[in-house]
Amino acid sequence: MQSMNFWRAYARNKGAVIGLLIMAVVVVLGLFAPLIYPESPWDMVNAPFLGPMEEGSLLGTDTLGRDIASGIAHGARVSLLIGLTSTAVALVIGVTLGALAGFFGGWVDDTLMRFTELFQTIPNFVLTVVLVAIFTPSQGSIVLAIAIVSWPPLARLARAEFMALRSREFVQAAITTGQSNATIIFREILPNSLSPLIVSSSLMVATAVLLESSLSFLGLGDPNAMSWGYMVGAARTVIRQAWWMSFFPGLAILLTVLALNLIGEGLNDALNPRVARKGKA
Amino acid sequence: MNAVAVSSSSAPSPVTAFPNRQPLLDVRGLSIALPPSADRELAVDALTFTLNPNEILCVVGESGSGKSMTAHAVMGLLPVPSVRVAAGALLFKGNNVLTMSEPEQRALRGGRIAMVFQEPMTALNPLMRVGDQVEESLRIHTDLDRTARKARVIELFAQVGLPNPAELVRSYPFRLSGGQRQRVMIALALACEPDVLIADEPTTALDVTTQKQILDLIRSIQAERQMGVMFITHDFGVVAEIAHRVAVMRHGKLVEIGTADEVLNRPSHPYTRQLIASVPHAMGDRPPFTPSGEPLLLAEGLHKTFHVGGGLFKKGKEVTAGKNISLTIHPGETVGLVGESGSGKSTLGRSVMGLMKPDSGRLLYKGTDLLSLDRRAFRPFRREIQMVFQDPYASLNPRRMVGEIIAQGPIAFGEAPAQAMARASDLLAMVGLDASAAKRFPHEFSGGQRQRISIARALAMGPSLLIADEPVSALDVSVQAQVLALLDDIRHRLNLSMLFITHDLRVASRVCDTIAVMQRGSIVEMGPAAEVFGNPQHPYTQSLIDAIPGRGWEIPADLSHGEGVSA
């Protein structure tokens, strides 16, 4: 019943449905990359500098004769994996700190928020670059670095939600019926603060995908994993002779990030119907 | 059908000086359509009535009756296209407002027809001086020059009884009290000498003493200018106070219209009768309460000061919410704590619940000082003292089933979940809900039903003392009567003591044995309900009682015993 309503509200936003379709294609591509292109994307399978649709290569080859279509399919795995895991890690850190700060208030709140501000004052990308450079690039260090720069907004959001819900009467009723703090946090407040958190973390996946691509572009990606950002970075010197080398990975990044943003907007419409209706009317 | 019958019977109003003159506002068969997703098709269904010059027509109804929609249609404030006029005509002095061009309508609104809103806090632009806001209306609708406009604004402010008008025009809205803002709103509405004033619950957000002043003001201005006033309200006390004629609405339809005397004293429609029977009034047959035994709760010299604003480097403002509060509640006694907003009545309730710690004083419950306990030591008392909250829409967790909400307390205290759920079903039956409600979510229930669930949650703990913080102020009057009757019934059956916090003296008089009146953080008078109401000693109590709207009106005898309250 409720999930039906959710889908109806979600489907009312046409863009969100398109976003979901694009995302589905990207996910399928990532999941089945080893089946579609069984060879490693690093293998030189053809002559270099082949344009799209030349000599049986769908999207052409790069400067070393590696297949670009294969690189994009394998790159989807890397982008999605890093986008999702780093957001999950950021969510755990952000919601935990934000919930504690919002629920307990007072000095707990002050301490945690000053700590959060410390991270917010440093430009995101610079900090990621520094962290990855220190930890040496690998999937694990990239996930961690992205998570470390992305949790503060989630912590702020969770804190605001918890503070607002903390003073609501149903939470006070839970206090007066002798519930423990853990019960109040997990059963009373958290379920009611989920929707904005889901919405903003769906947007955060998009940011994480972008951050990963930017790191790879700078050559700070995982050296063992083919990634979209790396492909754009490696092809930038020949962009005038061979546009397809950077165009197709760039398009993949663009579509994925766009799809994630559209999904985030659709989730917002579906989860916060009142706000959505105001916007449309 | 009703509407047609009504328009013929409504004509001669005893206060209308010129019965043959054309009505100011003639609403004919007005229907307003709601969007398809709404719970009913028409917000207003074939509504027909007239507003004559020099009369106050009160439009009464519960929430969702379509009374505000009607006013908004007249003012062109409907959120088109989702809500629109589907049929009918709205004649202002014989011209149909609905077919007028946009500029003509604009000239009418604010010029010939003006409106006062419910919420004076939000109806004024917070970034503009109040004088400028009134002047703006004059600039649009008149050709007075700047100096003349300024003078006129000051004159208007003086007429609506604002203190020191020459200074006050330069104030921003946040500097004014609620009552003053409502006066500014009225000045704004009067700026262009309108023929029709529409007042949409203009006193609902105000304290009772302020409400009285605003009602007096509207009445005197109406008489002075011979305006037609359409006054929308849900409160029959207010109706009795100012109405010349009364129209009663239900589910978008007009159920009854007539002179104030007819409708208030000889209501004919069953719905009107039910509404009037629900108006809170003292139950005459309440036996006087004689305290026996040790007091259950004894508050002594409670102080509480709030620090507002301020930060690391500057000192904030101090607000005193409690000043030497002392109060006793005996077993089986219901103590009403009455006061206007900001008087500190909730502070006391919250202190007893352990939701707030007073700065000093003692709070003895069966001899134990609750204030000396930390959270762990306080826990056993949670079973003994329970609370019913004000807002039934905010006090139930929307994501949990009703059964869980009721059973959560006993489960937290170690009761077996199955047993707690079984008891939750019993409690639902006790508060008049079906046992199947346990498996549903709060949003499936109406406000009154939710408040019943809230009461069941409190009772699940088996308390001896129930704190009810404005438990009926968010409910419609007929539902209010039912919930009050339920509370009264339950406390007798379970021999509960109750601290009943309310701003409404009429409600307090209905359920309380003892009344304590609070003003600015102190209890200024306390005594048996009959004495406090019959022979108030403190001037503040006297002014409160004097301000109860419709005091001169006796509920018709055949309705005063709660007939038709069940439903």
In angstroms, the separation between the Cα of residue B412 and the nearest Cα of chain A is: 6
Question: Does some domain include residue B50?
Answer: no
Q: To probe the interface with B, which of A169, A192, A274 has the most B CB atoms within 10 Å?
A: A169
Banded model confidence at residue A102, pLDDT cuts 50, 70, 90: very high
Chain B CA closest to residue A110: B312
Query: Are the beta carbons of B519 and B561 closer than 8 angstroms?
Result: no
Q: Do B408 and A179 make contact, defined as CB atoms within 8 angstroms? A: yes
Q: To probe the interface with B, which of A161, A172, A177 has the most B CB atoms within 10 Å?
A: A177
The partner residue sitting opposite A178, judged by closest CB among B398, B400, B409, is B409
What is the CA angle A219-A223-A228, rounded to 5? 65
Question: Is the minimum CB–CB distance between B400 and chain A shorter than 8 Å?
Answer: yes
Question: Does some domain include residue B477?
Answer: yes
Looking at residue B312, its pLDDT comes to 60
- Whole-angstrom distance, CA of residue A239 vs CA of residue A57: 19
Question: Is the minimum CB–CB distance between B451 and chain A shorter than 8 Å?
Answer: no
Question: Is the minimum CB–CB distance between B408 and chain A shorter than 8 Å?
Answer: yes
Looking at residue B204, its pLDDT comes to 82
In angstroms, the separation between the Cα of residue B527 and the nearest Cα of chain A is: 29
Taking the alpha carbons at both ends of chain A, their separation in whole angstroms is 25
Question: Does some domain include residue B305?
Answer: yes
CATH code: domain of residue B341: 3.40.50.300
The partner residue sitting opposite B82, judged by closest CB among A169, A174, A281, is A281
Most confident of A218-222, A236-240, B327-331: B327-331
Chain B CA closest to residue A192: B399
Looking at residue B17, its pLDDT comes to 46
DSSP H or E run through B28: strand B25-33
- Whole-angstrom distance, CA of residue A209 vs CA of residue B351: 51
Question: Is the minimum CB–CB distance between B457 and chain A shorter than 8 Å?
Answer: yes
The partner residue sitting opposite B399, judged by closest CB among A172, A178, A192, is A192
Domain with B521, as residue range(s), is 297-384+463-559
Looking at residue A265, its pLDDT comes to 86
B354 to chain A: which residues are within 8 Å by CB? 175-176
Question: Is the minimum CB–CB distance between B84 and chain A shorter than 8 Å?
Answer: no
Strands B317-329 and B42-51: unpaired
Question: Is the minimum CB–CB distance between B414 and chain A shorter than 8 Å?
Answer: no
The 8-class DSSP code of residue B82 comes to: T
Q: Minimal CA–CA distance to B355: which of A176, A99, A106?
A: A176
- Whole-angstrom distance, CA of residue A96 vs CA of residue A108: 12
Q: In a 10 Å sphere around its CB, with 0-12 CB exposed, 13-18 middle and 19+ buried, how is residue A45 labelled?
A: middle
Strands B497-502 and B334-339: parallel
Question: Does some domain include residue B507?
Answer: yes
Three-state DSSP at B331 gives coil
Asked if residue A99 has pLDDT above 70, the reply is: yes
Q: Do B412 and A179 make contact, defined as CB atoms within 8 angstroms? A: yes
Query: Which residue is it, tokens 């992205």?
Result: A146
Question: Does some domain include residue B70?
Answer: no
Asked if residue A40 has pLDDT above 60, the reply is: yes
Residue length, chain A? 281
Quote the strand ranges of B260-397, DSSP E: 297-308, 317-329, 334-339, 360-365, 368-369, 385-388
A192 to chain B: which residues are within 8 Å by CB? 397-399
The two three-digit tokens of residue B399, written as one number: 């994501």
Quote the strand ranges of B503-548, DSSP E: 514-519, 522-528
Banded model confidence at residue A251, pLDDT cuts 50, 70, 90: very high
* Residue B536 CB neighbour total at 10 angstroms: 19
For chain B, count helices (H), then strands (E).
Answer: 21, 20
Instruction: Report whether CATH 1.10.3720.10 matches the domain A2-28+79-280.
Output: yes
Q: Do A187 and B400 make contact, defined as CB atoms within 8 angstroms? A: yes
- pLDDT, one tens digit per residue, over A123-138 is 989 999 999 999 988 9
Question: Does some domain include residue B369?
Answer: yes
- Whole-angstrom distance, CA of residue A6 vs CA of residue B52: 50
Q: In a 10 Å sphere around its CB, with 0-12 CB exposed, 13-18 middle and 19+ buried, how is residue B126 labelled?
A: exposed
Helix, strand, coil share of chain A (percent; to 5):
80, 0, 20
The two three-digit tokens of residue A248, written as one number: 């197709």
Question: Does some domain include residue B132?
Answer: no
B461 to chain A: which residues are within 8 Å by CB? 177
Query: Are the beta carbons of A85 and A144 closer than 8 angstroms?
Result: no
Q: Which residues of A touch B (CB under 8 A)?
A: 168-170, 172-180, 183, 187-188, 191-192, 281
Task: Write out chain B's pLDDT in tens, 567 residues.
Answer: 333 333 333 334 444 444 556 889 999 999 999 888 777 888 899 999 999 999 999 999 888 888 888 998 888 888 877 888 888 999 998 889 888 888 888 888 878 899 998 887 788 888 999 999 999 888 888 888 999 999 999 999 988 888 888 888 998 988 888 888 888 999 988 888 899 999 998 888 788 888 888 899 999 999 998 999 999 998 888 999 999 999 999 999 999 999 999 999 999 999 999 888 888 776 555 677 877 778 899 998 888 888 766 566 666 677 788 888 889 999 989 999 998 887 888 888 888 888 888 888 899 999 889 988 888 889 999 999 999 998 888 899 988 899 999 999 999 998 999 999 999 999 999 999 998 899 998 988 888 999 999 999 999 999 999 999 999 888 888 888 889 999 988 988 898 999 999 988 888 888 899 999 998 888 999 999 888 888 899 999 999 988 888 888 888 877 766 444 433
Overall number of domains in chain B: 1
Looking at residue B320, its pLDDT comes to 80
B462 to chain A: which residues are within 8 Å by CB? none
Looking at residue B277, its pLDDT comes to 87
A183 to chain B: which residues are within 8 Å by CB? 412
In angstroms, the separation between the Cα of residue A187 and the nearest Cα of chain B is: 9
Looking at residue B284, its pLDDT comes to 54
